[in-house]
Amino acid sequence: MKKMILFAHGYDVPGVGASITQVLYERNCRILDFKMITLEKCFSLMICISSKDYFDASELEAAIKHSTVNFEVNIKLFGECHPPSLMEKEQAEWIPYKITIYCDDRSEILFYFMKEMSRLNINIADIHCRHSETEDNQNQFEVLVKIEVPVSISTENLKANLNEIAAHLNILIDFSPIENLEL
C-alpha cells in the first residue's frame, strides 16, 4: 500500500476541501489522517493518504492542482518517510497531556517552552495560540498544547518541570492527562 502526505495552503474559502477530497475519492485514495487549521484568512492542511491501487504522485498532484486552480491554492504531495528517530518514537509508549499556558505577549515564551519540552524528550503533538486583550488593553495569550510524554517521566516529574518553566517565565501553566479523543 502506497502512502503519501498532501500539503495545501491558501486563502480560506468554501469549496477548497471539497475539490481536494473529490480528486482523492475519484482515485480511490483512503484518507488515513486529516488536519486543517485556519490562521487569519488563510488555511493550511495536511492529509495522509494511501491507496491499494498504483498511482503516480506527480499525476495526482497535478490533478489536485487542476481541481483547485480557481482557489489559488499551493499544493505539494510527498512520499511518506520514516527516519530512524521517528521510528523510535512510534515504538515508545506515550501518555498524552493537555497543557494551557496563560501569558503576556512575549515571543520567548513559546521558544523556551518548546526548548524545554525537547530537552525532556517530550513530543509536542499540537499547539494553538489565542490572542486577546485584557480590560486594561494588555495583550494576553492563551496557548493550548497537546504533548506526548514518555511513560518513563512520572506525572510528578512533569509537574515539577512545568512549575519550573512557569516560575522562570512568570506565566501560569495548567495541565491534565487526556482521557479520550478531543477535537
User: 100 with 169, same domain?
Assistant: yes
- pLDDT averaged over every residue in the chain: 86
105 within some domain: yes
pLDDT of residue 132: 74
147 within 8 A of 101, measured Cβ to Cβ = no
182 within some domain: no
Q: What pTM was estimated for this model as a whole?
A: 0.68
145 in helix, strand or coil?
strand
User: 59 with 113, same domain?
Assistant: no
Q: Which residue segment(s) compose the domain that 138 sits in?
A: 91-177
User: 105 with 165, same domain?
Assistant: yes
131 within some domain: yes
Where among 45, 79, 113 does a domain terminate?
79
Question: The domain that contains 116 carries what CATH number?
Answer: 3.30.70.260
pLDDT of residue 141: 85
pLDDT of residue 165: 94
Q: How many domains would you assign to the chain?
A: 2
pLDDT of residue 5: 92
User: 96 with 72, same domain?
Assistant: no
pLDDT of residue 80: 62
User: 44 with 104, same domain?
Assistant: no
pLDDT along the chain (183 residues), means of 10: 88 91 91 87 91 81 93 87 53 86 82 92 88 76 91 94 94 89 55
93 in helix, strand or coil?
coil
pLDDT of residue 107: 73
Which run of H or of E encompasses 8? strand 2-11
pLDDT of residue 1: 66
30 within some domain: yes
Nearest to 158 by CA among 170, 145, 143: 145
Where among 79, 113, 134 does a domain terminate?
79
